[in-house]
Each structure stands twice: as C-alpha cells, then as structure tokens.
Structure 1
Amino acid sequence: MSAPARTVRRAERVDEEIQVAVAIVGGGACGLTAALMLADAGVDCVVLERDALPSGSTALSSGFIPAPGTRAQRAHGVADDSAARFAADIQAKAHGRAAGALVDAYAAAIGPALDALEARHGLEWMLLDGFLYPGHSVHRMHALPQKTGAALMAALQAAVEAAGIPVLTQAVVDTLVLDAHDRVIGIDYLRPDGSHETLGCDALLLACNGFGGNTAMVRTLLPEMADATFGGHVGNDGSAILWGEALGARLRDLGGYQGHGSWVTPQGALMSWAVMMEGGVQINRDGRRFHDETLGYSEAAVHVLAQPDGIAWNVFDTPLLTLARGFPDFCDAEAAGALRRCESVEALADCIDCDSAVLQGTLDAMRSTDAQPDGRRFARGLDAPYFAVKVTGALFHTQGGLDVAPDMRVLRHDGTPLPNLLAAGGAAGGVSGDAVWGYLSGNGLLSAVAGGYIAAATAAALVRQKEKQ
C-alpha cells in the first residue's frame, strides 16, 4: 500500500459548511470514548470515520482492557491494585523504556474511564480472573460479557447513538487546516462521490490509529515484520504520522508494535494466549519448543516467524481445550476447522510433520519440575488426547506515533505543544517502548480508552478557554 495523500494547508479562516467545537478523526474505541466524555461535559463534537461502519482495530481485537481500581475489580475482591502498581508492570514489560509521564497518565485514567463508561453509558465490565495475562501482577483485565472487540465496538456505537453524537461515516479526512499560529481551524474530507467538504473546529483529536496497514512504512520502520500477516485494520495507513511530519511534530517509539504469535492459519483468527499461560506450548516442525511462551504473545510473533516456513503449532490437552472454548475467537477458529485432535504422540507428530521421538522428548521434558533451558517451569505435563492448532506470527497494530504530552496535545520537535491538536490511541506513541517485547497485554486498548478519556478533558478545557476570549 502506498502512502495516502495527507496534507496540511494554511489559512486564516475556513469556508466551513459546519462548525463544531471538537472534531474527532477516527471512530474506534479511542474516538468514541472521547466523544462520549465530551458529550458528558456538554461539549459538542463530530466523529469522522473513513468506513461505512466504525470498526477499526478495536473490532478485530479481543476487546480486553487492563485497569486498576475499577468497580468491577473491587467487586471481585481485588483490593491490592493501584495506578502505581499498574504503571510499574507497564514499565517492567518495556524494560523501563516506555514514556514515563504517559504511563502514569494512562494508568491513572483508565480506571475512571471504564467506570464512567459503565455508570453513564451502560458498558457492563466483567473482570477476567481465571488467569494472569503476561506481565500483569494482578487480575485487572476487563471485558464485556461477550469477550470480543466487536461487542465492545457495538456497545460504544450504541452509547454514542443514544447520546445523540453525530458520526459522519465514509468521510476520509485528507487535509488539516491550520492558521499562521499553528492552530487547527478545520479539516477537509473526501466523500464517496469524490467531492470535498470542510468542517471547522475549535480543537481536533486524531484518533485514527497507526501504520500497520501501510506496507511501505512497515518495511521501512519494522523490517522484521515486513512479510508478516497483518491482522489489523486497513485503516491503519499512517495518516497521523504523515500529518505530524508535515507539521514538524515529534515522533516517538516507531519501532514499537503489537505482534501476535498465535494467528491461526489459514483461517485467520487470533487464538487466546491464555492457553499458553496455563500450560500450552508452541512446537515447530522440528518437534521442539523454541521460546518461553509465558513472556508474551507480542514477541512470540517474531519467534514464530523465525521457525521453518514461519509456522508453529499450539499444542494443548483437554483441560486447556475447555479453557480455550471460553473465548469466542477460538470457537470461531474451531468451527472453521482449525482444531486437530491427536490420540497419541505419534498422531501429533504426523499432524505437525515432525519426528515422533523428538516430539516425545519435548513433551517428556515438560513433566520436569526443573526450569526448562528457556526458563519456563511447567506445573504439569500434557496428557493425550492432544490438540493442535496451526499458527503463524502476525502484526496486529503499531505502538509508535506522534509524541504527545500527558494531556494528549501533540508536541513539536522542541517539546512545546501545538495549541489545539491532540492525538491518542494508535495515532500517538504508546506505552510499549520501542520494541516488540515491550508490549504489555492490553496496551493497545489501554492507550485508546485512557487516551480518549484524557483527550476529551483537554479538548473541553480548550473549548471553554476559547469561549472566554
């Protein structure tokens, strides 16, 4: 995919057809959360979405959001979590290379954001307390009862509709309009009939995600994932970065991204990493394990892609199959024919096309109470029948983008903020540092929801300040 045309034009005023307090580019979890918070604050906004129906990377995700101190977490008796503890987990996963001020801001905001969405907009969160996701020291992963990103998007859309917030679909924003003082005064967007329209605004939030769908940018910035399957949304075309470069904005952590080492192939679906955390393993065509699966599903993508043909097999047994079937994405993959049942080690070796003696040695080693060479310890071995799912490594979304202040205002190269341009979610640099191993489970939706929540507060303050002038 070639780089889209994303430009900046200068003007003292815009001949707008509509004027709005806040314009939001992107109708994913970030944009819709911001819109709902602005509506709660009594500030009018318009969401502009390139697709006919808002979906984005959120709809393709599992829809899981980590947060400390929520009503749902307290209701489950989790009393020993805090924003500080969450921030420490984020930094530990990123080896201290995540932006500290942003980590603190997101860790503090995400709990209130989820509670506000629940109390004021009907999103009923449940706490996933059956296992710990990689890197989390306490149960803090939240989801809607359906446990899918599609359900999360549907709930946000229903809330936005109930709040009467206008969402303009099939509106591809291609130009930001700024005055001589770097203040955004409007945007130009393309309609399906080829015509251009203009929207005037007092503040602008870029919530248009990252660059994972832009092949040229991925090859340049993430060469190790150049040939990986892209499991995200095509709307991840790098728009925010291109606008930022045109404006002289600072970029951050462009080498950070969320991979996934459990992309079911050829069916094309995510398989829950919970199976790996609870005792499942990844085995290559040599019949061997090749990494510590419990370190994280993001870096697992690189490990899987390094195997022969970029393929591995997720191998597990009956108790873990029961766990897997609690996740809708796995059920869809199983219904599509991804699951193989093997009654013996020999049958499993035939499925994987590996040497059965080597495979037997791999499975036998799991029964040791000692640490494996890669550091992993197993509580038990796997018992027949065995189950296997063929997977590859995938790029799901990028974590680098526009550098933003803790209030989500976009920063220039010298560190000063642009007056009224904000970015959040995938459009902004995240909290995963600058490498694949820095991604803590849930960081993507953390950035989207917490970033949208913070951006709304900042935009509302900017609008009120302008009204007083």
Structure 2
Amino acid sequence: MRVPVAIIGAGACGLTAALRLADAGIETVLIERDAAPSGSTALSSGFIPAAGSAAQLAAGIEDDAQRFAADIQAKAHGAAAPHLVAAYTGAAAAAVDNLARHGLAFEVLDGFLYPGHGARRMHTLPERTGAALVAALERAATGAGAYLLTRALARRLWADEDGRVSAVGCERPDGSMDVIGCDVLILACNGFGGNAAMVAEHLPAMREAVYGGHAGNDGSAIEWGAQLGAGLADLGGYQGHGSWATPQGALISWAVMMDGGVQINREGRRFHDETRGYSEAAVHVLAQPGGVAWNVFDGRTLALARGFPDFVAAEAGQALKTCADVAALAALIGCDADTLGRTLAHARPGAADAHGRRFERALGAPYHAVKVTGALFHTQGGLDIDAQCRVLDRTGRPLPNLLAAGGAARGVSGNDVSGYLSGNGLLSAVAGGHIAAATAAALLKRELA
C-alpha cells in the first residue's frame, strides 16, 4: 500500500487531520493499534477549548484567540511555546467549526469556569464524554473517505539519509508486518505516560502515581523522532489530576471544586487552593499522608456533578459517601472532629484564606465525600515542532516530510505540571491535527509542482 499521507494514531488529532485531508480530496490512511479508535481522547472528558467558534457566538459569549492565548500563558507562567500558543488558539475555532459542519453537535459547557479560563470556551458533545467524541470523529472521517486500519501497531519507520520518511511498518495481530509507503507522515499517536522508565526520568514527582492514561502512550513517537535527529522539548510538562477516585479508578470532575468543594487530608485539614488547577493538585494530593485526600462538597454541588457521566459511573461504583454532620464526616475520614470542624468553618465567604482561596459560599450539611488520589493522565512534552506542526531537528530545521501534533509533540503547557490549563491536551490534538493537515496538503502540492 502507498498513500500520499499516513497518520499514526486515530485519536482526536489523527481523526481531525484525516477529516480535513479527506475534505481536500487527499487519500489518507489512519494507522491505529487498537481494535477501535480510543487513546487519550476516549479517556478524557471530551471538552475542546476554542475561542470565537460559531457555538460560542450562538451562546452570546464574547471571546477571542488573543484572550485565550493570554489565559494559556498566564497558567504556564509565560513558559508555553509562543509560536504554538498563537497557532493553536488561532486555529481552534476553525477546527471546531469544521467538525461541526460534519455533524458534531457541539455546545459550550455552561455552569462554571475551569481554572484559568476567562470565558466559557469548552466545547462538548451532548454526551459529555471523550468516548463519544472519538466515535463521532471516526464516523466523520471515515464517512468523508479516510481509510482506517485498525489492529495495526506501528513498529518501524523507513527514512533516507536526509530524514525523509518513505514508509511505516505495522505489526498485525498474527505477527505479520504490513509496510505502508507514504509521501508525508503525521505522528498523532502518543506521549510517554505509559512508559515507566521515561516517567521516572522526566517526571519524578509522578514516579509512584497511578497512571490514568492509555497504554499506547509508550513514548514510541519520541523514539522514532529521536532516531531521525528530531529535537525534543518540554519533557517536564504533563497533565496530572488530583481527583482520581480510589479504589474505583474513576475521574471526579473538578467542577466539584470550582463549585465550592474542598479537599481534606487524613488530618482533617485543607492543604492547597483547589481553584488553581487540577493538574498541580495531583502533586499536592500525593504529598498528603497516604497520598490520598477526600473531596468534600454539599448537595448543590452534588446536583452539578451528576451531570457528568464519569461522576455518575463513580457513584455507581460506591465512591460517593454521604455524612449527616461534621462528626460523621470526621469518622469517615478518620480525623479529629474538632480539627475538621475548624477547617470547614474557615471555608466561608470573605477574605482570602491561608491558601489564597476566596469562597463565594459556605458548605452546608449533609456533606458528600469521595476518597481520591493524584494521578498522571498524559504528558505535554515531546517532539519539537514549528507553528505548522513540522518536526524540527536538533538545529531547529524542519525534517522533510515528518509532522507531529497532539501527544507526540510538545504542547502549550510549558515544562511543568502547573502550566497545564484545562483542555490543553485536546487543544493540541484538535487544533494541531487541523494545522498538520493543511501543512501536509501544502507539502504534497510542493512535491507535485
């Protein structure tokens, strides 16, 4: 088989790229290791941040790419790659609008703002799950003519001495190898969250953490790029999550914290400002006794949380506990009731507390609680790329026909866990896939000229 464009990985990034290429009449094959597309996207909430989309405008939300970019850099303390921040925030609305034209019925998430966002810009399908997003993207891409090759584990790239990729070797379930030739290759496949050795080397704070990501994030994209002389960037950046229900192994939406909930450790004390972000919260939770905490919230927040399928699943798994009063909550946590009572009494409207958080309201009994730990979800560093998603070599020059986006490439979270703004992963995937497709089309046109 030989195609103009081969894409390794059929998550949000690969499917978005394949759809745009199919729209342009360019033959494309998606190489997917699993029996059906899933990856990090399917494990996410499926919320895509974009500023200036048709859905935002229809909802009367004032926002633009410049405001979005400023929010990203503020969260990353100015350490996010400026060229990618500008490229991704500038392309996100067009990418989402194009997906909408192919039948993805996006709406803008309402009711609360995720930490660091200055406007409501999370685009979600009615199902509010990453699995629904992947399924919709697959239908759109294959319906437009992209070819999806499943159960094909990419194992090897062939390239000439100039770094021009000519083929991909894919291992099939029976052990045979399919070789697919291509004029352009897009790496839309993975980060390295599932590679224990790489996590220990680059993300020591997550060495012992639960991994909540996809097994396919084994670092192979980085390995292939390195073999071709590619540069690497921001390997210390990642998305953690401080609200992973234990032992159920389910995500508890951070909307619980943003609506007034708090995190309490085994000593009955709060230990950070929960509104700063769920990514760095993973490190804070893991630093507590036993590496666990309790999400504590009230009835109003419970009603909000039940609007998220992940929470509903966790509740079905007996993650949710309800306590009539402080004494019962203290018994559940195993802490001193007086200490817990003082902690909750301080979580009230007024001046900023000792952690810098300002509360809009106090929590009221009965209390609801979920035991959580910190988890690693996906990495935010990888192959160095330019604003067109071309992979750069170690001197900063683009390789001839290798592109990367999503988990395979550096993102827009800087080089630390605290730089992750909610939605940065799907921003890099969807906006990056949209841009990579345009770059691939331009490279093909140049080859034919």
5+ long unaligned stretches in structure 1: 1-17
The answer for the alignment partner of 2:74 in structure 1 is 92
Letter in 2 for 1:401: G
1:443 and 2:424 aligned: yes
The answer for the alignment partner of 1:22 in structure 2 is 5
Deviations 1:218-239 (A, max 9, x none): 0111111011000000000001
Alignment of 1:1-400 (within 5 A): 18-79=1-62, 81-119=63-101, 121-400=102-381
Deviations 1:61-111 (A, max 9, x none): 0001110000110011012x1111101100000000000000000000000
Cα distance in 2 for partners of 1:172, 1:380 equals 51
Cα distance in 2 for partners of 1:225, 1:283 equals 21
Bigger mean CA offset, 122-131 vs 391-400: 122-131
Displacement of 1:164 in angstroms is 2.8
The answer for the alignment partner of 1:4 in structure 2 is none
Displacement of 1:289 in angstroms is 0.4
Letter in 1 for 2:318: G
Cα distance in 2 for partners of 1:164, 1:456 equals 15
Bigger mean CA offset, 168-177 vs 256-265: 168-177
Displacement of 1:175 in angstroms is 1.0
Displacement of 1:181 in angstroms is 2.3
Cα distance in 2 for partners of 1:324, 1:265 equals 17
Cα distance in 1 for partners of 2:162, 2:379 equals 31
Cα distance in 1 for partners of 2:255, 2:356 equals 19
Cα distance in 1 for partners of 2:282, 2:79 equals 20
Cα distance in 2 for partners of 1:248, 1:465 equals 23
Aligned residue for 1:244, secondary structure, equals helix
Aligned residue for 1:426, secondary structure, equals helix
Task: Give the percent of matched residue pairs that are identical in Structure 1 and Structure 2.
Answer: 66
Cα distance in 1 for partners of 2:164, 2:360 equals 58
Letter in 2 for 1:255: G
Decide whether aligned partners of structure 1 residues 368 and 116 sit closer, same or farther in structure 2, where only a CA change above 3 A counts: closer
Cα distance in 1 for partners of 2:250, 2:310 equals 7
Letter in 2 for 1:413: R
Displacement of 1:265 in angstroms is 0.8
Displacement of 1:183 in angstroms is 1.1
Deviations 1:161-215 (A, max 9, x none): 3123211111111111112222111111111111112111000000012000011
Letter in 2 for 1:116: N
Aligned length: 449
Displacement of 1:466 in angstroms is 1.2
1:405 and 2:400 aligned: no
1:457 and 2:438 aligned: yes
The answer for the alignment partner of 2:407 in structure 1 is 426
Letter in 2 for 1:111: A
Displacement of 1:277 in angstroms is 0.7
Cα distance in 1 for partners of 2:260, 2:360 equals 7
Bigger mean CA offset, 162-171 vs 143-152: 162-171
Letter in 1 for 2:5: V
Aligned residue for 2:135, secondary structure, equals helix
Displacement of 1:368 in angstroms is 4.7
Aligned residue for 2:222, secondary structure, equals helix
Decide whether aligned partners of structure 1 residues 50 and 342 sit closer, same or farther in structure 2, where only a CA change above 3 A counts: same
Runs of 4+ more than 6 Å apart: none
Cα distance in 2 for partners of 1:192, 1:377 equals 55
Cα distance in 2 for partners of 1:39, 1:162 equals 9
Cα distance in 1 for partners of 2:209, 2:389 equals 31
Cα distance in 2 for partners of 1:271, 1:143 equals 17
Displacement of 1:436 in angstroms is 0.2
The answer for the alignment partner of 1:7 in structure 2 is none
Cα distance in 2 for partners of 1:154, 1:172 equals 20
Cα distance in 1 for partners of 2:347, 2:162 equals 63
Aligned residue for 1:448, secondary structure, equals helix
Displacement of 1:53 in angstroms is 1.1
Cα distance in 2 for partners of 1:259, 1:77 equals 32
Cα distance in 2 for partners of 1:44, 1:330 equals 40
Cα distance in 2 for partners of 1:397, 1:59 equals 12
Cα distance in 1 for partners of 2:328, 2:130 equals 35
Deviations 1:210-269 (A, max 9, x none): 000011110111111011000000000001111122111110000000000000111111
Displacement of 1:367 in angstroms is 2.2
Bigger mean CA offset, 321-330 vs 173-182: 173-182
Aligned residue for 2:290, secondary structure, equals helix
